[in-house]
Every structure is written in C-alpha cells, then in structure tokens.
C-alpha cells in the first residue's frame, strides 16, 4: 500500500468512528409533499404550508398542511408554525433497547405494531408511533390531522417510507 492509500484508509476510519450516522443523515429529503399527499387527506385547496428539518435536541422534521389563511402570516411573524394538519418526526440515536423502553415508558396505552423495525409501539392517546431500527435509531412520529380517520395506518405508512430513507 502506498502512503496515500494508507492515509485515506486512516481518515475514513476516523470519520466513520467519530461521526454518528444519525446526525450525518439529511432527513429533509425523506418526506416530500407528494408522499404526504399519498398518505394523508389533503383538501382541494390544501398545500404544504411548512416543512422544516433541524436539530433541536434531536434531529426533527415538522410538516404542516392545509388551506392557506391570513392567520398563517400572522403566526409566522410571531415565530409560530401555521395552523393545519401536522406531522412531527423525531430521530434519536439510542445505545440499545433500554433507551427505547425509556422513551415509551410514558405511554399509558401502548399497542404493539408488528413487522416495523425491531420494535414498534402505537399510542392512540398521543397519536404517536415509536419504533426502533436494528441500528438503534429511535423514530417517533406524531400526527395531528382531523381529516384523517385512521392516524395509526397513516403513521405506519410514513414510518415505512422513513425506514426506506434512513
């Protein structure tokens, strides 16, 4: 091996061991307006009014859709999101199943969801799906959508798309 090959291999090993993959992921490209329209009910005049992915405590993506209104501009001028149906997706890197159990310990109504990640739980009260991947990534999806009669099915559909993208 020449010195350049050795240096490249050393750099790659340092980068891969010091940068957790969950924070290197660009989550903003996982969920699109087209995907939201496939899964959720959009009224004829509804649009995606807000879409943002950023790292607050954990990488989080928020989506708001509905019919645009005059109040949206006023809310945005105050630093608030517009009104409408909402999807919030949070990504947190765990060290193991114990972290997942801690994250769902607040659920008083957990329903096990089979076949989604290593473990998945739906909370009807919270309208929230929590799952853990085999890479110990915890994904929580929270839905506020009055137009959707089956938030659990919608959350599972979104989770399946998210799992394809992580």
Asked whether residue 11 is domain-assigned, the answer is no
Asked whether residue 114 is domain-assigned, the answer is yes
Q: What is the pLDDT of residues 39-67, one digit of tens each?
A: 998 989 999 999 999 988 899 999 999 99
What's the rounded Cα separation, in Å, for the pair 83 and 132?
A: 30
CATH number of domain containing 129: 3.40.1000
Asked whether residue 75 is domain-assigned, the answer is yes
Q: pLDDT band at 25, cuts 50/70/90? A: low
Per-residue pLDDT, 75: 86
Asked whether residue 15 is domain-assigned, the answer is no
Average pLDDT of the residues in 105-120: 96
Instruction: Count the Cβ atoms, other than its own, within 10 Å of residue 18.
Output: 7
What's the rounded Cα separation, in Å, for the pair 91 and 159?
A: 12
Average pLDDT of the residues in 63-83: 88
Q: pLDDT band at 37, cuts 50/70/90? A: very high
Task: Indicate the length of the chain as a whole number.
Answer: 166
Per-residue pLDDT, 24: 42
- CB within 8 A of 136, min separation 6: which ones? 93, 94, 95, 96, 99
| pTM (predicted TM-score) | 0.81
Percent of the chain beyond pLDDT 70? Answer: 85
Asked whether residue 9 is domain-assigned, the answer is no
Split into its structural domains, the chain has a count of 1
DSSP, collapsed to helix, strand or coil, labels residue 141 as: strand
Asked whether residue 88 is domain-assigned, the answer is yes
Q: pLDDT at residue 1 above 60?
A: no
Q: What is the pLDDT of residues 97-112, one digit of tens each?
A: 999 999 999 999 999 9
The candidate with the shortest Cα–Cα distance to 50, out of 81, 79, 80, is 81
The candidate with the shortest Cα–Cα distance to 69, out of 46, 41, 38, is 46
Average pLDDT of the residues in 27-39: 91
Asked whether residue 4 is domain-assigned, the answer is no
The whole-chain average pLDDT of the chain stands at: 84
Percent of the chain beyond pLDDT 90? Answer: 67
| Residue 157: domain span | 21-165
Asked whether residue 116 is domain-assigned, the answer is yes
Average pLDDT of the residues in 127-136: 97
Distances in Å between the alpha carbon of 106 and those of 98, 100, 110, 143, 154? 14, 11, 9, 17, 22
């Amino acid at each position: 091996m020449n010195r350049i090959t050795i240096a490249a291999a050393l750099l790659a090993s340092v980068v891969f061991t010091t940068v957790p993959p969950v924070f290197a992921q660009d989550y903003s490209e996982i969920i699109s307006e087209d995907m939201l329209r496939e899964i959720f009910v959009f009224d004829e005049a509804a649009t995606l009014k807000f879409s943002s992915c950023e790292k607050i405590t954990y990488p989080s993506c928020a989506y708001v859709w509905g019919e645009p209104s005059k109040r949206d501009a006023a809310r945005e001028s105050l630093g608030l999101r517009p009104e409408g149906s909402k999807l919030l997706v949070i990504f947190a890197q765990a060290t193991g199943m114990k972290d997942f159990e801690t994250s769902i310990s607040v659920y008083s109504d957990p329903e096990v969801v089979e076949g989604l990640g290593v473990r998945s739980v739906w909370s009807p009260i919270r309208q929230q799906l929590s799952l853990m991947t085999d890479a110990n990534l915890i994904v929580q999806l929270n839905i506020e959508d009055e137009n959707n009669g089956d938030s659990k099915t919608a959350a599972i559909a979104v989770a399946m798309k998210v799992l394809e993208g992580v």
